[in-house]
Structure 1
Amino acid sequence: MAVGMLWTYCMVVCLGMALIGNVVLGQGPNPFLPDGGRKRREMVPAMFIFGDSLIDNGNNNDLPSFAKANYFPYGIDFNGGPTGRFSNGYTMVDEIAELLGLPLIPAYSEASGDQILHGVNYASAAAGILDITGRNFVGRIPFDRQIQNFQTTLDQITDNLGALDAAEALAKCIFFVGIGSNDYLNNYLMPNYPTRNQYNGQQYADLLVQKYTQQLRRLYNLGARKFVVAGLGRMGCIPSILAQSNAGVCSEEVNRLVLPFNTKVKTMMNSLNANLPGARFIYIDIAHLFQDLVANARTYGFRVVNRGCCGIGRNRGQITCLPFQTPCNNRDEYIFWDAFHPTEKVNIIMARKAFSGDTSVVYPINIQQLANL
């Protein structure tokens, strides 16, 4: 569920909340803030965000890219209007930041000065685990480069705080990673890519998770310890895929294709938790959350589950939301905002369930429990 569906200066917040005097990270004032950070109770010093369009908040705005959302009606329900978020309002990480007591995390492309004190968002629409993913959109920032951008941030923090304080602070930060959708939607399933002829579904999942493991280990080696990893949703049910069927039904072929990836990511996380000292990885089961929303749509107040609020063609998914297109009025009754992405209401529901839910949706502990460790 990404362009074509889930950062970075969390380090600064992390570092800013390092033990200074008797101040405990995440449980006292942030000494880097003008007011001492006493206006809110921050559960963690900062959150670093890595991923794709499901959580991008503007990193593609100045890129030569077709994957952009910095135009109306994107942001129609966001205070300040269009920002580059692929939503009518909040993304999932926006809500999680608020639940953690943090302000909204700025995009890496725009963050400067005090803006970076609570974290940074490195996510980029059309980005994938593989560097080649999303090339049909031209400009994008693959996961490897997002990690490089974070390392730039880390170097700056270490210069200011020193290696020991920086490392101690960073270990308290949340690292949210949501990526992989584009490796299917804008790589494996694209006719102009050779990938499908090179790998079957199991082999491709193996390739992705092997690379993904290396990337998460890189973040660990840079000092990250608390990881939130979002799984892939039921991508066979997004409007873009529904529109490819005359009957407008979910593609079980696509849903089955993604299953091995999610299964292998869970196995990978169990291995990393067991083998990386001090590491805590948790997994958000996005597919399960989506199934619950569809199965109990009326309970949640949803009326439309199979087409976008903004888009053109069958299921409003053949062409995604265009500049100044008029979206639906009853946005809170829609699960999908455009051809690929959920509405703000879905993002908020999923974030809250990931924050305080049980092991059926977030495993082995939830984000609130992770933050309190």
Structure 2
Amino acid sequence: MKLCCVWCLFVRCIIILLGGVLWKTEGVVKLPANVSVPAVFVFGDSIVDTGNNNDILLTTAKCNFPPYGKDFMGGKATGRFSNGKVPSDLIVEDLGIKEFLPAYLDPNLKSSDLLTGVNFASGGAGYDSLTSQTASAISISGQVDLFKEYIGKLKGLVGEERANFIINNSFYIIVFGSNDISNTYFLSRIRQLQYDVPSYTNLLLQSASNFFKELYELGARRVAIFNIPPLGCIPFQRTAAGGIERNCAQNINDAARFFNAKLEDQIDSFNQQFPDARNVYIDVYTPLLDIILNYQKYGFKVGNRGCCGSGIIEVVALCNRFVPLCPNDLEYVFWDSFHPTEIVYKTLISPIVSKYLSKFL
């Protein structure tokens, strides 16, 4: 019995050593010597999902097939909704933690991955429970349940004291809201029968607030909350609601901005209520809108169509190996009709990490 305990302790030490050294990359952002960010955890939708939807039979929000992933790790389709890496991967890479962030439900997930962070995001999810239900995605509450399960596994690996250190000092990335506004409200119009935009955004905000509190109670202290991007300018919404000229759908952008303003106020209020919390509002709307509208300034040639197929409607199952691809995805802002290309994510994420990092320290 004593020998078994000694062996368990030895294994724990090896796991801690490997998780802290061997899988680190050289980050773009340099942390102060006295600051530790042991791991990154991601909750959200298809913008940050790295493969959790792959084995959900009922969902159509999956992309573990070509041409998705054509530029990722030798052209492997892993369930990332882009041609390459997504923001989850780029954030851990910029912080020097590891090369990419694995999905928690990846059947090949290693124990060592638990020490440096995993991804709970699910394509099609939203703050609104109806959004996740409609897409057969993992809801916010479902993602929290997975995080609770993860905590139990982590404590079994490294013990309660080290696990609590990891939980308290890691970064948490939250990316929800796009599917609520774009799909549940404006596309399917399910919620328009019940709510106007102000009241619907209040519903989303209440769900978001409850989620932030639950994460806080589980030990999360450094939480980056991304706002909703300019959804009216994505190719699909230009096609569906932008008129014959496929202009940006202003009403959809207005709804996104309306929610974002409330979200920023709510985060400020949360931090006042919990002084040791560092919940940070991350503005992606403004820089992404600038890239879309002024794409040539950033070196792109196409800003209103995706690389896959015609670029105006294709996404997930409609973006497949049988449709044509653009000659060079580096020239496109969007990969499919919803999601940006890897090069656009790279253009966005490094400046965002540099801009907001000090707010968490």
On whether the aligned pair clears a TM of 0.5, the verdict is yes
Q: 1:49 aligns with which of 37, 42, 53?
A: 42
**Residue 60 of structure 2 aligns to which amino acid in structure 1?**
F
Question: Does structure 1 conserve the Cα–Cα contact (< 8 Å) formed by 2:20 and 2:116?
Answer: no
- Which structure shows the bigger proportion of residues in helix conformation? 2
Q: 1:40: Cα distance to partner? A: 4.5
What is the TM-score of this pair, normalised by structure 2?
0.86
Aligned to 2:67: 73
Q: Distance in 1 between matches of 2:335 and 2:194?
A: 34
Superimposed CA distance per residue, residues 97-135 of structure 1 (whole angstroms, 9 cap, x where no aligned partner): 111101111101112322322101011000111221144
Residue 261 of structure 2 aligns with an amino acid whose one-letter code is T
| Aligned mate of 2:18, from 19, 27, 33 | 33
Structure 1: which 5+ runs fail to align?
Answer: 1-19, 21-28, 358-365
Paired residue for 2:3? none
The DSSP-based 3-state class of the residue aligned with 2:41 is: strand
CA distance in 2, matches of 1:35, 1:46: 10
User: In 2 relative to 1, CA 170–41 (structure 1 residues): closer, same or farther, beyond 3 Å?
Assistant: farther
Q: Paired residues, what number?
A: 331
Given the alignment of the two structures, is residue 209 of structure 1 paired with residue 205 of structure 2, yes or no?
Answer: yes
Cα deviation, residue 35, structure 1:
8.1
Percent identity, aligned pairs only, is 35
- The CA distance in 2 between the partners of 1:149 and 1:348, in whole Å, is 28
1:347 to 336, 339, 345: 345
Name the counterpart of 1:171: 168
**What corresponds to 1:97 in structure 2?**
92
CA distance in 1, matches of 2:19, 2:47: 32
What are the residue-to-residue correspondences of 1:172-321 with 2, within 5 Å?
A: 172-191=169-188, 193=190, 195-244=191-240, 245-312=243-310, 316-320=311-315, 321=318
Q: Which amino acid aligns with 2:55?
A: D
Gaps of 5+ in 2: 1-12, 32-36
Alpha-carbon distance between aligned partners in 2 of 1:348 and 1:85, rounded to the nearest angstrom: 15
- Tell me, yes or no, if the aligned pair for 2:45 and 2:123 is still in contact at 8 Å: yes
User: Once structures 1 and 2 are overlaid, which stretch shifts more, 114-123 or 291-300?
Assistant: 291-300
Secondary structure at 1:189 match in 2:
helix
- In 2 relative to 1, CA 293–156 (structure 1 residues): closer, same or farther, beyond 3 Å? same
Q: Supply the AA of the counterpart residue of 2:80.
A: R
What does the per-residue CA deviation read over 1:230-261, in whole Å, with 9 as the maximum and x for residues that have no partner? 11111011111111222211110111122221
For 2:7, the equivalent position in structure 1 comes to: none
Aligned equivalents of 1:260, 1:301: Cα separation in 2: 31
Which stretch shows the higher mean deviation, 34-43 or 221-230?
A: 34-43
SS at match of 1:133: helix
Q: TM-score, normalised by structure 1?
A: 0.83
- Aligned-pair CA distance for 1:136: 3.9
Check whether the contact 1:61–1:68 (CA below 8 A) recurs between aligned residues.
Answer: yes
Mark the CA change 1:307 to 1:218 in structure 2 (over 3 Å): closer, same or farther: same
CA contact (8 A) 2:19 2:113 kept: no
What is the alpha-carbon distance in structure 2 between the residues aligned to residue 114 and residue 106 of structure 1? 11
Q: How far apart, CA to CA, are the structure 2 residues paired with 1:190 and 1:166? A: 42
User: Could you report, residue by residue, the CA deviation over 1:48-106 in whole angstroms, capped at 9, with x for unpaired residues?
Assistant: 00000001111011101111111111111111421100001111121111111011111
